[in-house]
């Protein structure tokens, strides 16, 4: 895997092509479909969602995906990622029978994701988060067991885990029959941009997806040094942060609802952030 993810528009992970920038669909409710339309028209080819109605409208993503496919888009050019969410992370709109055993819940949630999205397979399925802050539970293990079977059956191409610590990720790598290929974490500048988890990812060839890169790092986003770099590059501070993330090997997920920001976020790939710039940015919240 290249260190600087801006080097190419896609990267190859376990033989699967993954776009080096994802569009995130949380908190968009009835605007989801229209915004995913815009994202696809702007050039995003990787969409992140979840079967968690509390924060995502997965069926809205599906409506936009179907329209794009109907208009001639190729399924093989689209990277679709969804998540299985334990009951504690859901509201009353559960995508599974809460009385079913854990493995059956994963299978039911996944089947509903395919239905929402109107596709035959997912490119990536993530465990939205382990049940507890430390260690993996039997229900977490059930996710990895079912996801491994889905992988073998060609129903998902990659599997992974979100909101995970370095120790939990190491445990998942040790115990999951099909190894995780994806991690998705909130990426805090003050934690060295999630340095511990990214180190495990690097060691095991796992793609690290960073979310809330802007909103979790407002001090850096609003810092004068970032504004100075942005001015020099005729860019915005948001673009500088996304370009910085790519240079660190972080695959960014943008959560923008503004079509102009969609274009700006993708255009950040073409910026040149020097090693000196990267050091300045990395040191702001250290």
Query: Contact between 29 and ligand NAP (CB under 6 A)?
Result: no
Residue number with CB closer to ligand NAP (124 or 236): 236
Min separation Cβ 94 and ligand NAP, Å: 17
Determine the interface stretch with ligand NAP among 2-10, 21-29, 97-105, 133-141 (rule: CB under 6 A). 21-29
Residue number with CB closer to ligand NAP (172 or 213): 213
Query: Contact between 183 and ligand NAP (CB under 6 A)?
Result: no
Residue number with CB closer to ligand NAP (124 or 163): 163
Contacts of 52 (CB under 8 A, 6+ apart): 83, 85, 89, 90, 95, 128
Proportion of the chain in helix, strand, coil states, percent, rounded to 5: 45, 15, 35
Determine the interface stretch with ligand NAP among 38-46, 104-112, 168-176, 257-265 (rule: CB under 6 A). 257-265
Query: Contact between 215 and ligand NAP (CB under 6 A)?
Result: yes
Query: Contact between 81 and ligand NAP (CB under 6 A)?
Result: no
Q: Nearest to ligand NAP by Cβ — which residue?
A: 255
Site for ligand NAP in 109-138 (CB under 6 A): 128
Among positions 257, 267, 278, 284, the unique one binding ligand NAP when judged by CB under 6 A: 257
Query: Contact between 184 and ligand NAP (CB under 6 A)?
Result: yes
Output the CA torsion 59→61→63→64 (10° steps). 170
Q: Give 81-110 as a DSSP string.
A: EEEE--GGG--S--SS-TTS-HHHHHHHHH
Cα 172 from Cα 165, distance rounded (Å): 10
Which ranges constitute the DSSP H helices of the chain?
Answer: 32-42, 58-70, 102-117, 138-152, 166-175, 195-204, 218-221, 224-232, 237-247, 259-267, 275-283
Cα 278 from Cα 14, distance rounded (Å): 29
Residue number with CB closer to ligand NAP (119 or 182): 182
Which residues form the interface with ligand NAP (CB under 6 A)? 24-26, 48, 128, 162-163, 184, 211-215, 236, 238, 253-258, 261, 264-265
């Amino acid at each position: 895997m290249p260190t600087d993810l801006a080097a190419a528009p896609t990267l190859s992970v376990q033989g699967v092509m993954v776009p080096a920038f994802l569009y995130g669909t949380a908190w968009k409710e009835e605007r989801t479909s229209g915004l995913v339309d815009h994202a696809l028209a702007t050039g995003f080819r990787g969409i992140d969602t979840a079967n968690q109605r509390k924060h995502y409208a997965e069926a809205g993503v599906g409506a936009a995906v179907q329209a794009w496919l109907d208009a001639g888009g190729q399924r093989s050019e689209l990277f679709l990622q969804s998540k299985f969410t334990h009951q504690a992370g859901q509201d009353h709109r559960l995508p599974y029978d809460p009385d079913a055993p854990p493995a059956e819940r994963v299978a039911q949630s996944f089947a509903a994701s395919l239905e929402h999205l109107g596709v035959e397979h997912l490119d990536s399925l993530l465990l939205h988060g382990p049940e507890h802050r430390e260690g993996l539970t039997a229900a977490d293990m059930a996710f990895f067991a079912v996801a491994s079977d889905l992988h073998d059956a060609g129903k998902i191409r990659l599997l992974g885990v979100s909101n995970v610590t370095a120790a939990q990720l190491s445990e998942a790598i040790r115990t999951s029959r099909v190894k995780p290929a994806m991690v998705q974490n909130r990426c805090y500048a003050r934690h060295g941009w999630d340095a511990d988890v990214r180190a495990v990812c690097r060691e095991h060839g796992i793609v690290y997806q960073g979310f809330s890169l802007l909103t979790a790092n407002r001090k850096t986003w609003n810092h004068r040094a970032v504004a100075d770099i942005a001015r020099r590059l005729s860019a915005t501070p948001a673009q500088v942060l996304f370009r910085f993330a790519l240079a660190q090997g972080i695959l960014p997920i943008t959560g923008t609802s503004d079509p102009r920001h969609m274009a700006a976020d993708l255009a950040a790939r073409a910026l040149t952030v020097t090693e000196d710039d990267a050091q300045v940015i990395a040191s702001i919240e250290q």
